[in-house]
Amino acid sequence: MLSLKTFTAIVEKDIDTNLYVGYVPGFPGAHSQGETLDELQDNLREVIEMLLEDAEPKFQTEFVGTQQIVVQRV
């Protein structure tokens, strides 16, 4: 029986390489990059599928969310 799992990925754009970089917080080895967001998503999916072939992941952290922090510069 096929089961679907959903993972949350953090995505950033590297200003030096112009590549999108993504990782799944707390999931060791679950990171990749791509020239487009679609390519990054495909690459991350492939990496996660390979990691899941080995074993069920033991997450080191749990994704909670993001926050915006406002600071005042002098």
Q: pLDDT tens digit string along 37-64?
A: 999 999 999 999 999 998 888 888 888 8
Q: What pLDDT is stored for residue 66 in this prediction? A: 87
Scanning the chain, the segments in alpha helix (DSSP H) are: 37-54
The structure's pTM equals 0.81
Number of domains in the chain: 1
Could you tell me the residue range of the domain that residue 9 belongs to?
1-74
Q: How far apart are CA 32 and CA 41, in angstroms?
A: 9
CATH of the domain at 10: 3.30.160
Cα–Cα–Cα angle for 20, 25, 29, nearest 5°?
75
